[in-house]
Structure 1
Amino acid sequence: MPVTAPGEASDWFSYEAVGRGITRIWEPHVHPYFRSNIFRVRGHDVDLVIDAGMGLVPLGPVLNLPSTKPVLAVATHIHVDHVGGLSEFETRAGHRHEAALFAAMADEHTLAHLFRAQPEAVARSPTRAWSPQSVQVRPAPLARILDEGDSIETGDRSLRVLHLPGHSPGSIGLLDERSGDFFAGDAIYRGRLIDDLPGSDVQAYRKTMQRLLQIEFNRAYCGHGEPIDQNELRSIARAYLDSSS
């Protein structure tokens, strides 16, 4: 059952345990179009933070990260709803196709201007003086550049990097082949898949969908919404292929 995160922004974040050592965090007051998932994955040697939300309220305090263990923050792609809080983390990783862009976080790549222009961008202001026009994504240069087939090791997990372009050029997923956990980013999720943003590529997205039909996994943790199983993911992928042909 989802619960509210404690602390300064006591009702800004919600979170729930969704798998072994996996917590899903989201921002319920953010407009649904930008309301993305953040995943904390506890590892034996390294903890992972997969995506970092809008950055409207500090994320670190609600994650309760240990001071004695390294933390790697992985961005599944560069859009504002996934990298707003990325600069809070010292060690950051993202795909090569977007790697150079994290150092500037320009609107043309993060698409933060679309959030600023969104009517009713939030249901409640995160702070008293906040306004959508104040939203700027802080630069967050990457410490590690990821390529297709790379592995991210936590000591008890090995996550394989999958390049899944289409939604954006550098979109990635992370697959734990032993447990069957698949962190899909915005490659796929329930609802209409977004393929008409600057940098989107329908033909690349179709190839990604075809690839997703072949991947074996148990549960997909998507960039938006609740986790889905393999059957539902394949149904979504087939529907996209049918509608975009």
Structure 2
Amino acid sequence: MNLIKDDWFTVEKVDNETYVISEYKHWEETHCYLLNGTTNSLLIDTGLGVKNIKAVVNKFATKPLIVIPTHTHYDHIGGLRYFDNFYIHENEEDWINGNFPLPLDFIKNLLIEEPCEFPLDFNIDDYEIFQGKPTKILKDNDIIELGNRTIQIIHTPGHAPGHICLYEKEKEYLYSGDLIYKGKLTAFFPTSDPKTYKNSIDKVVNLPIKKILPSHFDLDLQTSIIKEIKDAFEQIENDGKLEQGSGLFHYQNFTISI
């Protein structure tokens, strides 16, 4: 059931304390997650930044807000400019401080890669890559306390050097960012590393997980997809093709781009 469906955002409940805020009108179908605890609320990712996500978050956040992008690609940090208190993994602190390795024109072309009905007040000419100073630098296995909810930071590089998943042990939720989803898994960027990506899948495959909450596309993921991705990477490696430039590898629920 949609709690909000406006000209850009859709808000749905994951459970009574957790919401997913989606940008279904864009080809990337980004998902951000709001977790309410008894002392703090946590927003995971901030979307494309083409409309003010904070106005939506404020309707559902119940406590002072912490914001954590899974990584600093444009579709995850676009809305960071609306928030003051955000954390970044140490491996991408340099990127968020103004040294993002891809040019703005490249990002704009990604944003409009497929036809989209953007909000009426959005102007692509005004779009910028967010830069700012995080309030905290994250490391692998850091713990974020929300009062009655505890979130573990799991460093899962490969797609991006500072990519993280967030794991909620009590609920057995994995907020998987761009590591795991149904779609094209990307390890071909100059800053990506397919071997490290494989290692990151190996790192999470044995966690007790009841629900995967991805950053893109289909929200109804079977947890078995993690093992499927692991097996796919192992096959690619065994074939001697786990090197950038090897191309596209197609599977039932996903594609791997190397």
Evaluate the alpha carbon distance shift between residue 223 and residue 67 of structure 1 in structure 2; reply closer, same or farther with a 3 A threshold.
closer
Which residue is equivalent to 2:199? Answer: 207
Distance 1:169 1:120 in 2: 24
Which residue is equivalent to 1:188? Answer: 180
Which residue is equivalent to 1:90? Answer: 84
Shift of 1:197: 1.4
For the pair 1:70 / 2:64, whether they are aligned, the reply is: yes
Determine if contact 1:29/1:122 at 8 Å carries over to the other structure: no
2:118 to 105, 125, 141: 125
For the pair 1:172 / 2:164, whether they are aligned, the reply is: yes
Partner deviation per Cα, 1:110-137 (whole Å, 9 max, x = no partner): x653341245555113224x44333212
What amino acid is the match of 2:24?
P
TM-score (norm 1): 0.87
Identity %: 25
Evaluate the alpha carbon distance shift between residue 93 and residue 216 of structure 1 in structure 2; reply closer, same or farther with a 3 A threshold.
same
* 1:39-118 matches, cutoff 5 A: 39-64=33-58, 69-104=63-98, 106=100, 108-109=101-102, 112-118=104-110
Name the Cα RMSD after superposition: 2.1
For the pair 1:216 / 2:208, whether they are aligned, the reply is: yes
Determine if contact 1:216/1:230 at 8 Å carries over to the other structure: no
Which residue is equivalent to 1:22? Answer: 18
2:142 to 138, 150, 154: 150
Distance 1:63 1:236 in 2: 32
In structure 2, the residue corresponding to 1:117 is in which secondary structure? helix
What amino acid is the match of 1:31?
W
For the pair 1:236 / 2:229, whether they are aligned, the reply is: yes
Evaluate the alpha carbon distance shift between residue 234 and residue 112 of structure 1 in structure 2; reply closer, same or farther with a 3 A threshold.
farther
> Which moved further from structure 2: 220-229 or 199-208?
220-229
Evaluate the alpha carbon distance shift between residue 85 and residue 243 of structure 1 in structure 2; reply closer, same or farther with a 3 A threshold.
same
Determine if contact 2:67/2:87 at 8 Å carries over to the other structure: yes
For structure 1, the 5+ residue unaligned runs are none
